[in-house]
Chains A and B, each alone.
Chain A
Amino acid sequence: MAITRIIIPRLVLLLFVVLGVAVITFTISHLIPGDPARMIAGDRASAETLENVRRNLGLDRPVVEQFTIYIGNLLQGDLGTSLRTNRPVAGDIRTFLPATLELGTVALFIAICLGVPLGVLSAVYKDGPIDQIARTVSVCGISMPVFWFGLILIYLFYAKFQILPGSGRLAMGIVAPERITGFLLIDSLLQGRFDAFRSAVYHIILPGFVLAFANMGVITRQIRASMLDVLQEDYIRTARASGLRKGMIIFNYALRNALIPSITLLGLALGDLLYGAVLTETIFAWPGMGTYVVTSIQTLDFPAIMGFTIVASIGYVLINLLVDLAYMLADPQIREV
């Protein structure tokens, strides 16, 4: 099977990627200046207290030994204990990651739902008014800074017109549904909590749209460019010469081929979304990984930073795997060979 032929090497690769990332983050954490013990004990702690903290953290042992312990724990799913919160990093990530994934998924969904049709229209009516508007919108999306755009939307929709909430995942006074997947939209539906669902939807609109906007611009431009290429192809001329309807030619015959070069871009966009989430989450006080990581960096919370880096790199490998699988789905030439 072609599918297993793609998946298995990727999973093996994943192991090496994680190991490599672990080595790099571990090295960096020991190379950069800054003393975690000092961060914990405080500026005025005595040398003795510092020594005690160091011993408790295991920082007094040889570097190689520290690394072996770290890797050993890592393989058991133990990412260490956060220096800041004193809780297991893995647990913290489990708490905060779903919020980010939910935001990212919604944003990607919005970006695709708006970007693809806009790109198609833009190509079909090239140089017409729709094309001009779509191109302007996508340039704005690509070049507008997230923090600025986010603040503008908060000002308009939250402060001025008061249509949409500007921060958090749920309105105050609404009890969060019991945690099943960590995705509020899904959990609330599973438990029939429609009040929570409605509130969650309202809350995710603004940050979701802000996060989606930049990627929508990229997607629109990519789809437009590849649609323009495809519409020049001989098989489109064949389809036209056969009298097929315009709608069928555009969506069944052209878009299907135009999507193939866009798949890589969608994979990249997914990665971009996680990165863009950091800013968006900060602006919208979204309790996700972004906020968690920023705080961890500010407090030199190495276990948390390393844990996040490893989770993110696993995420990237999985996204790439998804991209390859999507290629197989879209392009028979890859699938059937």
Chain B
Amino acid sequence: MMTTGIVESRGQALAIHNLSLEFPTFSGAIKALDNVSINVAKAEIVGIVGESGCGKSVTTMAATGLLPKGRYRVTGGSVRIFGHSTLAMDESQLQDVRGKMVSTIFQEPMNALNPTIRIGKQLTDVIMRHEEASLTDARRIARDILADMLIGEPERVMNLYPFELSGGMRQRVLIAMAFSCNPGLIIADEPTTALDVTVQAVILRLIQNRARRTGTSVIFISHNVAVVSQLCDRLYVMYAGRIVEQGATRTVLDAPQHPYTQALLRCLPERVAPKQELEAITGAVPNLMHPPAGCYFQPRCKEAVDLCRSRSPQLEGADGRQVACWRRGVGPEISEQGSRQ
């Protein structure tokens, strides 16, 4: 049997607590995650946003044991998926969890399905791996779930190879595969980035509808705030391996607190008045082998003061709404000297 987790996290689909992780390299460790905490309640839909390389995918891949073995080191924290501590699991235990309790839908549908195996076989392989089902049963389950993804003639599609399907169709198959064993948690890692805009909305609705109907928790990972904002109950904003802000989607979008979140939102065309120039965040994401002192966003931040350059701010605030910034919320007195460069 599976190792049972602590009782208090039973109500949680996913509980990542103070997870720190680094990738050792010859020239030093890259601190990819620093004290990341993410909680997803049962049936909740949560978004993680941030620029490329800020650790969104690393967080969820570490939680599901999908990072390449031996290439990373967890330096602290814990991960529980429905109470089971996945960091302590060996590969064979993880294989029981993946697909059954938590499934991941990846980006790039081009190559995410095996090119030499028929769609039906790829689906039934997963179903028969986790369910006590005969091949006939598995094919029926696969057909039903494909139909649920609004794929016409599922029977015919199951006999096709991935290259015979469009990108949107392949993505639907992947979503069907993720839902096929009714996992309690779905991680959608940039599920629509490779698709064109008209298909994107349809695909996202498919995931959302199915999840709402079955009470499945979902984590949407995206660099596109606009995409995530329409779907999620809560948002986490990540920057350089740290969570900088989290809260209910509406509050975060309507009243962003962290300068990074504010800057991110100012980059969205739909939030800027016509003819007004779009803003870009100057500078680049810091090198995590030699991160800046203090707040990681401080070198790019217009509001940085001395304190920001010397000490890292922690996430502060009530559970529902937290921000990690010296210039917001509670913290040591901020001296105005040296602010606003």
A243:B116 contact, CB within 8 angstroms? no
CB within 8 A of A244: which of B64, B66, B129, B174? B129
Stretch of A62-70, A198-206, A232-240 contacting B (4+ beta carbons < 8 Å): A232-240
Check B265 for interface membership: any CB of A closer than 8 A.
no
Instruction: Name the interface size band of chain A.
Output: 20 to 34
B125:A244 contact, CB within 8 angstroms? yes
Check A160 for interface membership: any CB of B closer than 8 A.
no
Closest A residue to B121 by beta carbon equals A252
CB distance from B183 to the nearest CB of A (A): 9
Check B161 for interface membership: any CB of A closer than 8 A.
yes
Check B339 for interface membership: any CB of A closer than 8 A.
no
Complex Cα distance, B102 from A241, in Å, reads: 8
CB within 8 A of A332: which of B106, B111, B116? B116
Complex Cα distance, B114 from A248, in Å, reads: 13
- CB neighbours of B115 from chain A (8 A): 235, 257, 332-333
A237:B66 contact, CB within 8 angstroms? yes
Closest B residue to A233 by beta carbon equals B111
B126:A242 contact, CB within 8 angstroms? yes
CB distance from B14 to the nearest CB of A (A): 15
| With contact pairs A253-B114, A256-B116, A257-B116 given, residues A244 and B106 touching in the complex (Cβ less than 8 Å) | no
Closest A residue to B164 by beta carbon equals A336
- CB neighbours of A244 from chain B (8 A): 95, 99, 125-126, 129
Closest B residue to A256 by beta carbon equals B116
Chain A 294-337, CB-CB to B under 8 Å as 1, else 0, gives 00000000000000000000000000000000000011110010
A257:B129 contact, CB within 8 angstroms? no
Check B148 for interface membership: any CB of A closer than 8 A.
no
CB within 8 A of A241: which of B66, B113, B161, B163? B66
Complex Cα distance, B66 from A235, in Å, reads: 13
Of the listed residues B99, B106, B116, the one surrounded by the most CB atoms of chain A closer than 10 A to its CB is B116
Complex Cα distance, B127 from A242, in Å, reads: 9
Check B88 for interface membership: any CB of A closer than 8 A.
no
Complex Cα distance, B113 from A332, in Å, reads: 14
A234:B112 contact, CB within 8 angstroms? yes
| With contact pairs A233-B111, A234-B106, A336-B161 given, residues A241 and B99 touching in the complex (Cβ less than 8 Å) | yes
CB distance from B234 to the nearest CB of A (A): 23
A235:B111 contact, CB within 8 angstroms? yes
Complex Cα distance, B97 from A124, in Å, reads: 22
Check A44 for interface membership: any CB of B closer than 8 A.
no
CB distance from B127 to the nearest CB of A (A): 10
Complex Cα distance, B114 from A330, in Å, reads: 13
B99:A242 contact, CB within 8 angstroms? yes
Closest B residue to A260 by beta carbon equals B116
Closest A residue to B114 by beta carbon equals A235
Check B104 for interface membership: any CB of A closer than 8 A.
yes
| With contact pairs A235-B114, A253-B114, A253-B117 given, residues A243 and B99 touching in the complex (Cβ less than 8 Å) | yes
- CB neighbours of A260 from chain B (8 A): 116
- CB neighbours of A241 from chain B (8 A): 64, 66, 98-99, 103-104, 106
Chain A 235-276, CB-CB to B under 8 Å as 1, else 0, gives 101111111111010001100110010000000000000000
A237:B106 contact, CB within 8 angstroms? yes
- CB neighbours of B321 from chain A (8 A): none
CB distance from B86 to the nearest CB of A (A): 12
- CB neighbours of B97 from chain A (8 A): 243
Complex Cα distance, B121 from A256, in Å, reads: 14
Complex Cα distance, B108 from A307, in Å, reads: 55
Q: List, sorted by A's number, 28 A–B pairs whose CB atoms are closer than 8 Å.
A: A234-B106, A235-B111, A235-B112, A235-B115, A237-B66, A237-B112, A238-B106, A238-B113, A239-B114, A240-B98, A241-B104, A242-B103, A242-B126, A242-B178, A243-B94, A243-B97, A243-B129, A243-B130, A244-B99, A244-B126, A244-B129, A248-B129, A252-B125, A253-B117, A256-B114, A256-B116, A330-B116, A332-B163
A234-B108, A260-B116, A336-B161 known; 5 new pairs, CB 8 Å cut-off, are A238-B114, A241-B98, A243-B96, A253-B117, A333-B115
- List chain A positions with a Cβ less than 8 A from chain B: 233-235, 237-246, 248, 252-253, 256-257, 260, 330-333, 336
- List chain B positions with a Cβ less than 8 A from chain A: 64, 66, 91, 94-100, 103-104, 106, 108, 110-118, 125-126, 129-130, 161, 163-164, 174, 177-178
